[in-house]
Amino acid sequence: MTGEPNTSAALDDRSRSTAAVSAVPPVVYHVFRILLGLIFVIASLDKIESPWNFGRAIHVYEILVGPLAYLISPMAAIMPLLELVTGILLIINRWVRPASLLILAMNIVFIIAIASVIVRGMDIDCGCGLDKGVLASIAGTQADAWALVRDFVVLAMNLVVLFAPQSGRGRSRAACMPPCSPPQGGDG
């Protein structure tokens, strides 16, 4: 990317798009990154242990109905592992932006699903993966307005992680812009 003639224009674009969050102190970025990673890792564990139960949780949302019901199994299989891997990547500060993009996509799906449950007046478990112990008592387990608030908080944290100028091993060449120096080594 650095050899392309319009790199500076692209970087200007990036500068403008990230202006709102570029002022975020690095410590906030790192805290959000690690916190977000931990949330997704913890939330994935129960689902990975029992994808069958997670499939039922998706089923009771009654969004994937009719022929779309065939998407439930692939979702129940793929989404938990995706949460685990993206969470780990955030924690270890590698491939942060790709992981963050995937988390953004999942988060939007969660928000739409929970909002639809609220609109339809349903009373179901959210299937968020935080169904046990202290976390459940703090976070709750129902697909309700509180779950929606939680998802928006996660969304906000994720946007900070996604758009903040990155430093260290998590950056990629594309993400590098002044004052970030060009990356050294193979992670790219």
Partner 1 sequence: MWKTWKPEIIRAIILLAVVAAAALLLNWVRTPILFAAADRGMIRKADAGSLKGVWLIDSWKHKGWPEVDTGAPKSDGAVGQDGSNSGKRTEPKVLSINAQQAKDLFDQGGCVFFDARMPQEYEEGHIPGALNWPYELFDQYYDKYIKELVQDECIVCYCIGGSCDESFHLSQSLAYEGFSEAYLYEGGIEEWRFYEYPVKTGSEP
Residues that bind partner 1 (CB under 8 A): 1, 4, 6, 10-11, 13-14, 17, 49-53, 55-56, 58-60, 65, 69-70, 72-74, 76-78, 80-82, 85-86, 89, 95, 97-99, 101-102, 122-125, 172-175
CA 143 to CA 128: how far, in whole Å?
Answer: 9
Q: Which residue's CB is nearer to partner 1, number 26 or number 188?
A: 188
Closest distance to partner 1 from the beta carbon of 153 (Å): 22
Cα–Cα distance for residue pair 171/175, rounded to 1 Å: 6
> From the CB of 62, what's the least distance to partner 1, in Å?
10
Instruction: Please state the closest distance from residue 81 (CB atom) to partner 1, in A.
Output: 4
- Give the integer Cα–Cα distance in Å for 143 and 110: 10
Q: How far is the CB of 185 from partner 1 (least distance, A)?
A: 16
* Cβ proximity of 160 and 32 under 8 Å: yes
CB closer to partner 1 out of 27 and 179: 179
> Could you write out the three-class secondary structure of 75-131?
HHHHHHHHHHHHHHHHHHCCCHHHHHHHHHHHHHHHHHHHHHHHHCCCCCECCCCCC
Smaller CB separation from partner 1, 19 or 49: 49
